[in-house]
Structure 1
């Protein structure tokens, strides 16, 4: 279940079209940030055969350097936990966020290995300079098949940050909310931590 739900979020790195933009995107705007990150990641991956082959060390470094600074994983985790977030102690909240982030990073390997000739179409963004929350709507074309993918971003003191992604009408945080809620109901907050830790160990062993 967790692996299936992660796939949409991870395809953020599979957009090739933005790498060929004629005008450099403005990362100070939400749509510009999405385009800039995509372009940067694509050019890096296309120049590195090891990453295309799924080298977890290089991919982890790429994610930490180019993607994590532009994402708010704590907000993503908080929304996914829903009302259960307040049931967790500050230390548990930190653990859940870190394990969730580790899981996302490890799963990036599969998505990055698939980067080839995908293209992306950006729909016009009609936000204003006063907006503090934005949704950027795009469509990814992979082998002729269009896939809806939208991003939610918030404006912070450090700039715009991505905190949610929608694929084919399903927001990642909403998909996780049900799963996390079930686990908390059966095993408590510690159950979520253990589930994420177990999955991370499985992925680590699979790569070793």
Structure 2
């Protein structure tokens, strides 16, 4: 299903990243399932209202999902070599516009996630002192389509945060970096940031 391909890269953060926010004794898979249920419960009975009020939906995503992402590091990876060329002010502006883009792009898709989609959580295989881990899962759609999802996480100030993910072999960061770098080569970094700000806003 088309919505699945669009939806998974961002919402998977909400469904699985908190599973690694706490160590034993609670298994990561159990925490992930609890997180899924919480997200669904927050949406239950409010989908029509959120569709009519996008700002409320955006605020929900900004509150619940964005803190699970290492946005500064992801922004640096997405800009690639242009991050080194950017001024501190340009980096901050890009990071804010990029966050707004994620919130607005995937906000509506969040409403399409429901209890008909089953998630199979795979065990996390990493050393106890690992600072970088991969969390794998398979999303089973009602039409029989199985979609493998992989999240890359690292430890930031004692918390696990997502900095990349993939659907099959398609990396979230690599995909955006290719799109953004092509636009920057055509338009220049400053013009590109200005266009993001005009389209998605420069403030949260």
TM (normalized to structure 2)? 0.80
Residue 59 of structure 1 pairs with residue 57 of structure 2:
yes
Q: Distance in 2 between matches of 1:140 and 1:35?
A: 13
**C-alpha displacement of 1:37:** 4.0
Which residue is 2:194 aligned to? 194
Q: Which runs of 5+ in 2 are unaligned?
A: none
C-alpha offsets along residues 68-107 of structure 1, whole Å, 9 cap, x if unaligned?
2211112111101111101000110001110010011112
Please list the CA deviations of residues 139-167 of structure 1 after superposition, one character each: whole Å capped at 9, or x if unmatched: 11111211111111110114011111101
Distance 2:20 2:71 in 1: 23
Helix, strand or coil at the partner of 1:93: helix
Distance in structure 2 (CA, Å) of the matches to 1:114 and 1:91: 36
CA positional deviation for 1:120: 0.5
Check the 8 A contact 1:13/1:41 in 2, yes or no: no
CA 1:136/1:14 → structure 2, altered by over 3 Å: closer, same or farther? closer
- 1:28 matched to 2:28? The reply is no
1:94 maps onto 2:88 in alignment: no
CA contact 2:50–2:56 (8 Å) conserved in 1: no
8 Å CA contact retained: 1:74, 1:97: yes
- Distance in 1 (CA, whole Å) between partners of 2:198 and 2:7 is 18
Aligned CA distance change for structure 1 residues 74 and 46 (closer, same or farther; 3 Å): same
Counterpart Cα distance in 2 of 1:104 and 1:146: 24
Distance 2:174 2:35 in 1: 24
Equivalence map 1:140-179=2 (5 Å): 140-143=139-142, 144-179=144-179
When the two structures are aligned, how many residues end up with a matched partner?
Answer: 189
| Mapped pair 1:129 → 2:128 | yes
Aligned to 2:42: 44
Q: In structure 2, what is the Cα distance between the partners aligned to 1:9 and 1:58?
A: 21
TM-score (norm 1): 0.79
The 1:48–1:74 alpha-carbon spacing in structure 2 relative to 1, beyond 3 Å, is: same
Distance 1:192 1:49, change over 3 A: same
Segments of 5+ residues of structure 1 without an aligned counterpart are 19-24, 202-208
Answer yes or no: is the 8 Å Cα contact 1:54–1:109 preserved in 2. no
